[in-house]
């Protein structure tokens, strides 16, 4: 129940602490001048621009906040995904991730993220049909993918080919037209698996497989990845379900690095294919979508269960990180990791047990009992077990971030659209604290002193 005075439209408004004395303001005293400022509080937050009135002289720029990596800055109001990192809660549009993973399909969840409500039967059928109508990609994109080097990273190929979609769909630049946005959303959700499968087939030197629209979204993806000479690909229902759940778990995660990239780049009003390429590029990094690849590398380096204590010791000595552990937001067990751990057992029933699972279980067992990890609230995150499942399903490690990108596309487009429709949003443009040199006169080349270039440049 929303508290009186709290805006009822914000789903989480009831979570926001309300003042006991009825005063929803922050009083700041500037000790440099002795002046006091009363700043309104809204949703337990102050507007950073309200600080600009805090000045020493009238012509000062005014006070800013300094928040590298946005540790404590809300850059938007959103109604899509709610996370309580301390309690290990993740909800899409209010629905707990555990329920969605158990009862829903990825396409249902994508609809939920984009339109705000779970679809009725007829809405779902139309939505599935709209997606199926757009699974094919332009034949020229095949040529484009062909041009990549044989050992190109699939994620690099995916980023480039998503960006290239903007050259095929020039209507995508009409971002203020709801019909155009709808169409680009269909295209993005529908074509990402096709692009992903094509880059995979290219990297293993196999012919591209066209979409089979009789199959489900994950079933068709498996078909495009793994079909050989058979006329009809037979989808394994366990793997189909596992992939669907993994897509659900990765579908959105509020303002993470790639989603912030999507919103930031999209705020320039570029087309959504270009913005998605930027988001996918952010996801490529090992601290974001590349972490499950890093987990597998780490597990294979550890080699056996008996080496785990020695490895944990090196992590505690600061000689590396326990990949798949820790999260900027979750200071508790990542709820997605719990679902994935259960899913792993189902997948291993079909594929055979991944031998590295024992090392992972031992790492988790030791780390969860160790003061270093307990004190820093480091728990397994979504990437800790997902790589083991992907590997058991036959995906090479460099396809892992690509799989992540497919699932995350629905979240990216939902957040992109929310950003565009938010009247408070403008082109993203952070400020800086300038610490470089003051004004100096240009020095001719022959007269410049030999300055040492810092070692890290
Ligand atoms: C995800 C991650 C980048 C979050 O980082 P963050 O919120 O900026 O946390 P910090 O880097 O400030 O770490 C806080 C402390 O925990 C330690 N720490 C964080 N993650 C750690 C890990 N995976 N292994 C060991 N120590 C870790 C840091 O060394 C630091 O210790 P200190 O206070 O003694 O210096 C970080 O936990 C990490 O690198 N994890 C491994 C990569 C990974 O799994 N990423 C996927 C995320 S879904």
Q: Give the confidence band of 16 by pLDDT, cuts at 50, 70, 90.
A: confident
Write phi, then psi, for 454 (nearest 5 degrees). -55, 145
Whether 5 has a pLDDT exceeding 70, the answer reads: no
Residues with CB under 6 A from ligand 1: 287, 291, 315, 321-328, 376, 378, 381-383
C-alpha 327 to ligand 1 mean position (Å): 7
Q: Give the confidence band of 291 by pLDDT, cuts at 50, 70, 90.
A: confident
For 224, counting Cβ atoms within 10 Å of its Cβ (0-12 exposed, 13-18 middle, 19+ buried), the class is buried
Whether 161 has a pLDDT exceeding 80, the answer reads: yes
Give me the helix-helix angle, 237-250 and 106-115, nearest 10°.
20
Q: Which of 202, 241, 253, 327 is catalytic?
A: 327
Predicted pLDDT of residue 12: 54
Which residues, other chains included, contact 184 with Cβ-Cβ below 8 Å and sequence gap of 6+?
A: 169, 172, 271, 272, 273, 413
Q: How far apart (Å, rounded) are the C-alpha atoms in residues 428 and 259?
A: 13
Give the range among 243-247, 253-257, 300-304, 330-334 with minimum mean pLDDT.
330-334
Residue nearest to atom 37 of ligand 1 (CA): 326
This model's pTM is above 0.95:
no
3-state secondary structure of 339: helix
Active site residue 288: yes
Give me the helix-helix angle, 154-168 and 178-203, nearest 10°.
140
Q: Give the confidence band of 354 by pLDDT, cuts at 50, 70, 90.
A: confident
- Which residue among 88, 285, 326, 377 is best mutated to probe the pocket of ligand 1, counting the most ligand atoms within 8 A of its Cβ? 326
Active site residue 398: no
Give me the helix-helix angle, 237-250 and 217-226, nearest 10°.
110
Active site residue 383: yes
Condensed to tens digits (0 to 9), the pLDDT of residues 23-40 reads 999 999 999 999 999 999
Predicted pLDDT of residue 1: 33
C-alpha 354 to ligand 1 mean position (Å): 26
Predicted pLDDT of residue 6: 40
Ligand 1 atom having least distance to the Cα of 69: 8
| Stretch 291-313: mean pLDDT | 92
């Amino acid at each position: 129940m929303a508290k009186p005075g709290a805006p009822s439209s914000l789903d989480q408004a009831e979570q926001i602490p309300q003042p006991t004395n009825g005063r929803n303001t922050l009083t700041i005293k500037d000790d440099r001048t002795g002046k006091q400022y009363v700043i309104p509080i809204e949703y337990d937050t102050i507007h950073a621009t309200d600080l600009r009135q805090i000045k020493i002289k009238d012509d000062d720029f005014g006070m800013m906040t300094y928040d590298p990596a946005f540790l404590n800055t809300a850059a938007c109001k959103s109604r899509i995904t709610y996370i309580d990192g301390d309690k290990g809660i993740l909800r899409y549009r209010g629905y707990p991730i555990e329920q969605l993973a158990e009862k829903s399909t990825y396409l249902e969840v994508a609809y939920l993220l984009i339109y705000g409500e779970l679809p009725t039967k007829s809405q779902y059928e139309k939505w599935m049909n709209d997606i199926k109508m757009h699974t094919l990609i332009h034949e020229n994109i095949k040529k484009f993918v062909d041009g990549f080097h044989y050992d190109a990273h699939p994620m690099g190929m995916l980023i480039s080919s998503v960006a290239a979609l903007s050259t095929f769909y020039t209507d995508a630049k009409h971002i203020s037209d709801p019909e155009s946005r709808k169409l680009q959303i269909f295209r993005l959700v529908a074509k990402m698996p096709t692009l992903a499968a094509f880059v995979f087939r290219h990297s293993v030197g196999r012919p591209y497989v066209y979409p089979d629209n009789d199959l489900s979204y994950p079933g068709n993806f498996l078909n495009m990845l793994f079909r050989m000479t058979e006329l009809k690909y037979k989808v394994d229902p366990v793997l189909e379900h596992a992939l669907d759940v993994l897509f659900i778990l990765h579908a959105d995660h509020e303002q993470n690095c790639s989603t912030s990239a999507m919103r930031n780049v999209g705020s320039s009003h570029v087309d959504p294919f270009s913005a998605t390429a930027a988001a996918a590029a952010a996801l490529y990094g090992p601290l974001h979508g590349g972490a499950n690849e890093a987990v597998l590398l780490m597990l294979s380096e550890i080699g056996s269960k008996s080496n785990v204590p020695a490895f944990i010791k090196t992590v505690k000595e600061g000689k590396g990180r326990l990949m798949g552990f820790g999260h900027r937001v979750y200071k508790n067990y990542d709820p997605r990791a719990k679902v994935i751990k259960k899913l792993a057992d189902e997948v291993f029933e079909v594929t055979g047990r991944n031998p590295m699972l024992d090392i992972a279980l031992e790492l988790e067992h030791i780390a969860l009992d160790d003061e270093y990890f307990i004190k820093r609230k480091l728990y397994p995150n979504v990437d800790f077990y997902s790589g083991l499942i992907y590997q058991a399903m036959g995906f090479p490690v460099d396809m892992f971030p690509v799989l992540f990108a497919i699932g995350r596309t629905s979240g990216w487009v939902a957040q992109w659209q929310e950003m565009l429709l938010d009247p408070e949003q403008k082109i993203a443009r952070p400020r800086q604290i300038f610490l470089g040199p003051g004004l100096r006169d240009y020095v001719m080349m022959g007269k410049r002193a030999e300055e040492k270039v810092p070692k890290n440049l």
